[in-house]
A = this chain, B = another copy of it.
Amino acid sequence: MTDQKNIRISAQLMRDWARKCLEQAGAASELAKAMAENLVAADLMGFRTHGLMRLRYNLNCLQDGSSRSNGEIKVLSKRAAVQLWDADLLSGLYVMPKAVEAAMAMARHCGTGTVVVKRAQHVAALAVYLEQATEQGMLVQMMCATPGQQVVAPFGAKSAWFSPNPFAIGAPTHGQPILFDVSLSMTAAGKVRKAIAEQQPLPYPALITADGNYTTDATTFLADPASVLAPLGGEQLGYKGTGLCLFSELWTMGLSQLGRYQEQAGLDANTVWVQVVDPSAFGDLDEFKNQAQAMVDGIHATTPINKQQPVRVPGEGAFKVRQQQLQQGIEYTAALWRQLEKIAQQTGIQLPAN
């Protein structure tokens, strides 16, 4: 590919290709299948920074041993409604569906089920794991932290303490589920890197420079000393984002007992809190869906600020993108496609023709 035209290609072909690449890098068959599936699932939903853009990273991790190519997950402790797992550097793309499954089984007995997973390599987009629960009529909440990464400042600081903290929920309705997946900082590191690559400023001041100023200048993220991400709420309300980041890190790193106390700098595996709630423990599932659907309908019925932009419910954008890409193929930028072609050359596994 030398031109700049985007590529359209079937999700199934890309899944198969990615799986073969991951297998060649050493991943056991079941592992490679889950990794490929969940990376492509992120592309399908429009979470581009967590899709095949990260295939190279996953291949590298398998090859240098920072992601295990096979093996078992260890259950370190359990009670009726909770389990602590050590993924022992297996990919989160493979471990997370198992954690959701185990949480659902506990929720059926206890009303809620929680799995805290430590040392899961590259969990990618939390959004892709939510429907596994909502399709079974369950609510799910996920939080993810990275013990070895510190890029988000607490409120009032110009140096970082928190890791990026994605937060996600899913809930069933009578129609498509409510799906929500965001970072608890003002922006994510991936978006800053994208802005740098595209030589664009950020759309709003989400970085705090070493001088203590909020800035839209993405290049400050590469300066020395570097700028840091502001917590959600920003200059006025960043104490709210700080508390939400603490919620994430206490419930993940704290409960898993693997975090900053150990001072294991450089450990970039993820720690994840997965909790499933079974609404049928509280009453009739259909009654829950009535309430959830009333929220969807009510939000749609609010008055938009801009008549051209109807008010949306979280998840609707992702469903729309997925529906379109399932019909027309996933759209990859020419730049990403060139990266994938390099992988194809290195592995000798030919990319599918578009």
Contacts and interface: CB of A to CB of B under 8 A. Distances in A.
Interface stretch (A14-22, A29-37, A242-250): A242-250
Nearest to A80: B110
Interface in A105-130: 109-112, 114, 116
* Tally of this chain's copies: 2
Interface in A248-278: 249-251, 253-257, 259-261, 275, 277-278
A284 B256 CA distance: 10
A327 B156 CA distance: 29
Given A239-B314, A283-B76, A291-B254, A169 B304 contact: no
Contact of A153 (B82, B239, B250, B302): B302
A233 interface: yes
A306 B109 CA distance: 51
Contacts of A255: 139, 277, 279, 282-283, 288
Interface in A215-240: 232-234, 236-237, 239-240
Interface string A283-300: 110011011111100110
Contact of A306 (B139, B156, B256, B309): B156
Given A156-B306, A186-B237, A244-B244, 19 more contacts: A79-B281, A80-B81, A80-B110, A112-B112, A116-B282, A139-B250, A139-B251, A153-B302, A156-B312, A159-B302, A160-B302, A171-B254, A178-B246, A180-B247, A182-B240, A243-B314, A250-B291, A253-B295, A259-B295
